[in-house]
Structure 1
């Protein structure tokens, strides 16, 4: 059985703040309501959400602007990682997300380690592009140079 709820936070693959969505009763009762991510849809709640929508949109625009600045900084950044490699340019091991995260932090760029997506493991020397999801709507590409140590 589905019920209508109003989202109080952005939830990936479900909706954004203020959206009215239908979800399973158990999902709402066991996940959304205890975490204060949603409330039952009613006329009173919908009026309150409409009143807050402008403020939420303003805050969201500010978050996106900050994320775009950080993405631009990441796009301009490249990091170099010295690794041990054999004669055929294959690494003894692979470059990890933690290494990339630590080098970004040394450059003064703070991102959540879980938002760095290497894709296929980096196991060769050369230039590799790594995706960094800065915000739900903003992502950046980081150049990682893997050189022989």
Structure 2
């Protein structure tokens, strides 16, 4: 189906372009949300008549998104989750959890604006891209930790999943003899 775009859509085109998209994408997403019109003569004339108002509206949305992006710039958000000693989360952190963390700080972001290809499954600092507008995107830092204290230590650059952080042992000082005694293993086999 050919449609006329009423706003810039990533990976599809600019405002005013006529593009060919799949019928389902047009019927279920672009047309109901007012992001496009069917490409016919009547709609082309309608678009040309409304072009100035559409450009003004798009500029307003972009400036609002840019203001939010300026407020989010350099911010880190803490998400506390249960995790094992190796840092593996018992659950995961999904886009919904990131939206909740942003909302707690007063930022209203939609789930479709969070680019998270796979859920976060380990503690640590993670970069997440937010698409606030087709032309405005920003990267925020998500600090996933077991506690607020641990999140603060992580933000200072401390690693919390190494043997040093978990057991209080310097990994470089560890030797194989610290873990097993080769002579003791041989004696047990002879007794058995």
Provide the TM-score with structure 2 as the length reference.
Answer: 0.60
Tell me, in whole angstroms, the C-alpha distance in 2 between the residues paired with 1:39 and 1:89.
51
Tell me, in whole angstroms, the C-alpha distance in 1 between the residues paired with 2:77 and 2:137.
17
How far the C-alpha of 1:40 sits from its partner, in A, is 4.2
Tell me, in whole angstroms, the C-alpha distance in 2 between the residues paired with 1:117 and 1:10.
18
Tell me, in whole angstroms, the C-alpha distance in 2 between the residues paired with 1:122 and 1:5.
37
Unaligned runs of 5+ residues in structure 1 are none
Tell me, in whole angstroms, the C-alpha distance in 2 between the residues paired with 1:128 and 1:34.
35
How far the C-alpha of 1:110 sits from its partner, in A, is 0.5
More divergent stretch after superposition (61-70 vs 45-54): 45-54
**Which residue, 17, 23, 28 being the options, matches 1:27?**
23
Aligned residues: 143
Work out whether residues 81 and 146 of structure 2, in 8 Å CA contact, stay in contact via their aligned partners in 1.
Answer: yes
- Report the structure, 1 or 2, having the larger helix content: 2
Provide the TM-score with structure 1 as the length reference.
Answer: 0.74
Work out whether residues 125 and 142 of structure 2, in 8 Å CA contact, stay in contact via their aligned partners in 1.
Answer: yes
Aligned to 1:41: 40
| RMSD (Å) for aligned C-alpha atoms | 3.1
Q: How does 1:1-149 map to 2 (within 5 A)?
A: 6-8=4-6, 13-21=11-19, 23=20, 27=23, 31=27, 35=32, 37-42=36-41, 45-149=43-147
- Report the structure, 1 or 2, having the larger strand content: 1
Unaligned runs of 5+ residues in structure 2 are 148-192
Tell me, in whole angstroms, the C-alpha distance in 1 between the residues paired with 2:50 and 2:37.
15
| Cα deviation 1:17-69 (Å, max 9, x = unaligned) | 43234x48x939x8399747324432x65454333222221211111111111
Greater C-alpha Rg: 2
How far the C-alpha of 1:92 sits from its partner, in A, is 1.9
